[in-house]
A and B are shown apart, each in its own frame.
Chain A
Amino acid sequence: MAGAGGGNDIQWCFSQVKGAVDDDVAEADIISTVEFNHSGELLATGDKGGRVVIFQQEQENKTQTHSRGEYNVYSTFQSHEPEFDYLKSLEIEEKINKIRWLPQKNAAQFLLSTNDKTIKLWKISERDKRPEGYNLKEEDGRYRDPTTVTTLRVPVFRPMDLMVEASPRRIFANAHTYHINSISINSDYETYLSADDLRINLWHLEITDRSFNIVDIKPANMEELTEVITAAEFHPNSCNTFVYSSSKGTIRLCDMRASALCDRHSKLFEEPEDPSNRSFFSEIISSISDVKFSHSGRYMMTRDYLSVKIWDLNMENRPVETYQVHEYLRSKLCSLYENDCIFDKFECCWNGSDSVVMTGSYNNFFRMFDRNTKRDITLEASRENNKPRTVLKPRKVCASGKRKKDEISVDSLDFNKKILHTAWHPKENIIAVATTNNLYIFQDKVN
């Protein structure tokens, strides 16, 4: 598999794993989103309990030439709390659906995190100095009696242990009736969009009391509802362009210059259905769970239940590449429907050079597809390989027939162990893979 550095195959090695070891997973610890920041130095995760944990990469150590810096906890904060909408008797989950980083403009870092209803802009700043020597205050903060002050001094900054503080700077609330599934920051770095099942809103990062509705697919008669919005993203370069995917397997590209309400798409990407694959569940598995533009902006990738598709923005009638993630599940759709796995929303991601794409699967497997060599690989995120720099062994699922040694049969896959969220460092071959409650970090082998 070609890496960012050249045509040689990458060998992926275990680097770190974060999270509890025990099998009994607390629901609040289930990881619900993973995102690198623009430099790759920071890695944020959100969980079902509404917490955000940010890891920071150590500065590269000159002596440690055989591995890149490790990621250590940098900041942890409670982003969202459970809420109750009394008017509708509706509980609002605190689960973090998405985190998106803003590009760094000053010493502080900013990210957007969202649950089903509310988006928050968090400022993460470091404090490593504090003023000491106040005249009217003791060191512990108590006020001194002014009459006891006989001399004056100038307070000075003294170093202190690094403290990372997260504070909510903006709260964007009450704009979504349905569950928010996506947020995406515009390339103008001033606005961002948030998408729920039926609507997409455009916000300005500075303004919290209003947003513009730019897409509304809610039918006048809800009984006529046939599709919902499943994901949305701004184009990485064109600040007027965004796409949204639907539960019917279509992607619409919209241009905000065309009209204020972008209900009419500029482009509609849809692949005709293969009639031979028709089943009760065809509609479910064609629902797109994630859409991501390539870094170049020329392509976009969509993930549906069984495959990953790469679309050229210039061609609407079919994808340019299709990769089967776990085609062996096609014959198991009924069971997967029963156990709800068919509704799992897998995400996908590009590597920094847009040459490789990655997505997750079951049994803690994740898959990578090299667009150039057309080779693919299946790897497993497991604590069994948890010695640093252990090269991961490719895995193989045996769909039917004789199972070779080291292969796993479809029936022995653990469908409770699913990898829904993965992220690729924007510049390096470092990946973050989230199992249910653990975060694995893998790196390519550096010789």
Chain B
Amino acid sequence: MEFKLEAHRIVSISLGKIYNSRVQRGGIKLHKNLLVSLVLRSARQVYLSDPCLGGPGVGGPPQPPPAQEQLPGEPAPGWGEPHARDSSMEQDPEPAGAAPEPPALPLALGKRSLEGSPLLRAEAVPEAPRRRVEAAERGGGGGEGALEGPPRARQCCCRRLCCSPHGAPRADCGCRPRPDDGAPPPPVCPRKRSASGAGGGPAGCLASGGSPVKKPRRDSEEQPGDEEEMETGNVANLITIFGSSFSGLLRKSPGGGREDEDGEEEEEEPQRGPEAAEPGPMYCDKPVLRNLNPWSTAIVAF
């Protein structure tokens, strides 16, 4: 149990670091953020796989907290089993090529096993909650100040907060992942972009090609609504961070099958300002940090 507490603590510390890195002088440090994301992923895996939570970990054999290697005989450790239930929450359509559920992809955290699984890495890196991009469009001087509430509550394809965090879709929802429908918004923090399109610095992300692009928010039309939701839907949003951070990625197709492909590119967690085209992760900062209690509840719900 103490492993879980430790993991919880490490996750929240890591989130704080990622958040703070956005406002550092000199821009986001790719190296440090990469390392933090690795820790975050490890901690999260431990947290989710520890069966004493009664959470998703029941699906897999208990792992020692630091265990990051793929368990022998466990086809889908970490991400696999624990997320079996998550898949029902995965309302976001995914590219045809990807497994219907991200959990099916084993996430091997061992040092050497990553080379062969770039797609898994795609999951791994953005484990950190998605990061918001500061946007001048928020009212000038995006900078550090423009904080939003928690990420938008997870929405299923029918754009309703219909599915409970506990995994079982409501009967009346009828939602299911649609293969390549880019329409349903990714249930993550709306990403903001600096109005100038400048991607760099604390939180900027640019469209590929480096041209300043006022990237539409994923759910641009819901943006005003987002804020309201974020104020209230913390718990669900927090789940969203961890449960669906990969769904968005998997949805993404290189050809731009999503409504704002540029936005997806920003999901690369550590990379920020330096490379205009780099994806950057979305994460929730203040809301996450502010709501650690509901957070654990949310995680339990996983």
Contact = CB atoms under 8 A, between A and B. Distances in A.
A92 B276 CA distance: 15
Contacts of B126: 223
Nearest to A176: B274
A90 B204 contact: yes
A248 interface: yes
A88 B122 contact: no
Interface in B110-127: 111, 114-115, 118-119, 121-122, 125-126
Interface string B1-25: 0000011001001000100000001
Interface string B199-210: 111001010001
Contacts of A23: none
A283 B38 contact: yes
A226 B114 contact: yes
Contacts of B17: 340
A133 interface: no
A247 B274 contact: no
A218 B125 CA distance: 14
B160 interface: no
Contacts of A204: none
B121 A226 contact: yes
Given A222-B278, A282-B66, A283-B35, A179 B29 contact: yes
A88 B199 contact: yes
Contacts of A177: 274-275
Nearest to A219: B118
Interface in B250-294: 254, 265, 267-268, 270-271, 273-276, 278-279
Nearest to B109: A283
B271 to A, nearest CB: 5
Nearest to A95: B26
A230 to B, nearest CB: 7
B23 to A, nearest CB: 11
A85 B28 CA distance: 14
Interface string A379-417: 000000000000000000000000000000000000000
B91 interface: no
A279 B66 contact: yes
B159 interface: no
A225 B31 contact: no
A95 B200 CA distance: 18
Contacts of A105: none
A53 B199 CA distance: 34
Interface centre among A89, A95, A181, A343 (most CB of B within 10 A): A89
Contacts, number: 146
Nearest to B3: A280
A89 B125 CA distance: 24
A89 B143 CA distance: 10
Interface string A260-303: 00000000000001000011111110110000000000000000
B204 A278 contact: no
Most chain A CB inside 10 Å of its own CB: which residue of B17, B32, B194 = B32
Contacts of A87: 198, 200, 210, 212, 276
A260 to B, nearest CB: 22
B196 interface: yes
A86 B198 contact: yes
B8 to A, nearest CB: 12
Contacts of A340: 17
B87 interface: no
A227 B275 CA distance: 16
A215 interface: no
Contacts of A248: 111
A337 B267 contact: no
Contacts of A219: 118
Contact of A93 (B26, B267, B271): B26
Given A226-B121, A284-B38, A278 B196 contact: no
Nearest to A222: B268
Contact of A85 (B118, B200, B268): B200
Contacts of B199: 88-89
A153 B140 CA distance: 66
With most chain A CB atoms within 10 A of its CB, the pick from B13, B30, B42, B43 is B30
A68 B104 CA distance: 67
A218 to B, nearest CB: 8
B157 interface: no
A337 B6 CA distance: 13
A111 interface: no
Interface in A291-350: 334, 337-338, 340, 343
Interface of A: 85-93, 95, 116, 177-179, 181, 197-198, 218-219, 221-228, 230, 247-249, 273, 278-284, 286-287, 334, 337-338, 340, 343
Interface of B: 6-7, 10, 13, 17, 25-27, 29-32, 34-35, 38-39, 42-43, 46, 65-68, 111, 114-115, 118-119, 121-122, 125-126, 194, 196, 198-201, 204, 206, 210, 212, 249, 254, 265, 267-268, 270-271, 273-276, 278-279
30 contacts: A85-B200, A87-B200, A88-B204, A89-B194, A89-B200, A90-B201, A90-B274, A178-B274, A179-B274, A219-B118, A222-B268, A222-B275, A222-B279, A223-B126, A223-B249, A223-B268, A224-B118, A247-B31, A279-B66, A280-B6, A280-B39, A280-B46, A280-B65, A283-B35, A283-B42, A284-B39, A286-B111, A334-B10, A337-B13, A337-B39
The 5 A-B residue pairs with the shortest CB-CB distance, nearest first, are A88-B200, A90-B200, A89-B198, A222-B268, A93-B26
